[in-house]
Amino acid sequence: MPKQTERIKVVVIGGGTGLSTLLRGLKKLPVDITAIVTVADDGGSSGRLREDYDIPPPGDVRNVIAALSDVEPMVEAMFQYRFNHSKDLEGHSLGNLMLAALTDITGDFGYAVSEMSRVLNINGKVLPAANQVVTLHAVYEDGSIVTGESKIPLVDKPIRSVMITPEDVKPLPEAVQAVRKADLIVIGPGSLYTSILPNLLVTEIQHEIRQSSALRVYMCNLMTQAGETEKYKASHHLQAILNHTGPGLIDVVLASDIDLPDRVVSSYSEEHAAPVIVDADKIQSLGIDVVQRDIAMVQEGSVRHNAEKVALWLVYEALNYKK
Summarised one tens digit per residue, pLDDT across range 86-141 is 878 888 999 999 999 999 999 999 999 999 999 999 999 999 999 999 999 999 99
Burial of 94 (0-12, 13-18, 19+ CB in 10 A): middle
pLDDT attached to residue 320: 77
Write the Ramachandran bin of 60: left for phi over 0, alpha for psi from -120 to 50, otherwise beta.
alpha
**Quick one: pLDDT at residue 87?**
79
Task: Give the model's confidence band at 17: pLDDT under 50 very low, under 70 low, under 90 confident, else very high.
Answer: confident
Would you list the DSSP string of 126-185? EEES-SS--EEEEEETTS-EEE-TTTGGGS-S-EEEEEEESTTPPPPHHHHHHHHH-SEE
Question: Burial, 140: exposed, middle or buried (Cβ in 10 Å; 0-12, 13-18, 19+)?
Answer: middle
**8 A C-beta contact, residue 239 and residue 206:** no
| Mean pLDDT of the chain, nearest integer | 94
All domains in the chain, ordered by first residue: 1-38+167-323 (3.40.50.10680), 45-123 (no CATH)
Q: Taking residues 46-50, what's their average pLDDT?
A: 94
Band of pLDDT at residue 85, cut at 50, 70 and 90 = confident
Q: Which amino acid is at 235?
A: S
Residue 40 pLDDT > 80: yes
> Which long-range contacts (C-beta less than 8 Å, at least 24 apart) are formed by 289-295?
289/251, 289/252, 289/253, 289/321, 290/234, 290/252, 290/253, 290/255, 291/252, 291/253, 291/254, 291/255, 292/255, 292/256, 292/257, 293/254, 293/255, 293/256, 293/257, 294/256, 294/257, 294/258, 295/254, 295/256
CA dist 231 and 242 (Å) reads 18
pLDDT at 261 (0 to 100): 94
CA distance 202 to 215: 20
Q: Is the pLDDT of residue 218 over 70?
A: yes
pLDDT-based confidence at residue 6 (cuts at 50, 70, 90)? confident
Query: Which pairing describes strands 215-219 and 296-299: parallel, antiparallel, or unpaired?
Result: unpaired
pLDDT of residue 1: 53
Note the Cα 167 to chain centre separation in Å.
20
Given a contact cutoff of 8 angstroms between Cβ atoms, the answer to whether 81 and 93 are in contact is yes
Res 23: pLDDT: 96
DSSP 8-state secondary structure symbol assigned to residue 30: S
Query: Is there a contact between 88 and 78 (Cβ–Cβ < 8 Å)?
Result: no
Report the C-alpha gap between 298 and 310 in whole angstroms.
Answer: 15
Write down the pLDDT at residue 178: 98
pLDDT at 153 over 70: yes
pLDDT tens, residue by residue, 162-192: 999 999 999 999 999 999 999 999 999 999 9
pLDDT at 288 over 60: yes
Q: What is the pLDDT of residue 93?
A: 94
Given a cut of 80, whether residue 64 has pLDDT beyond it is: yes
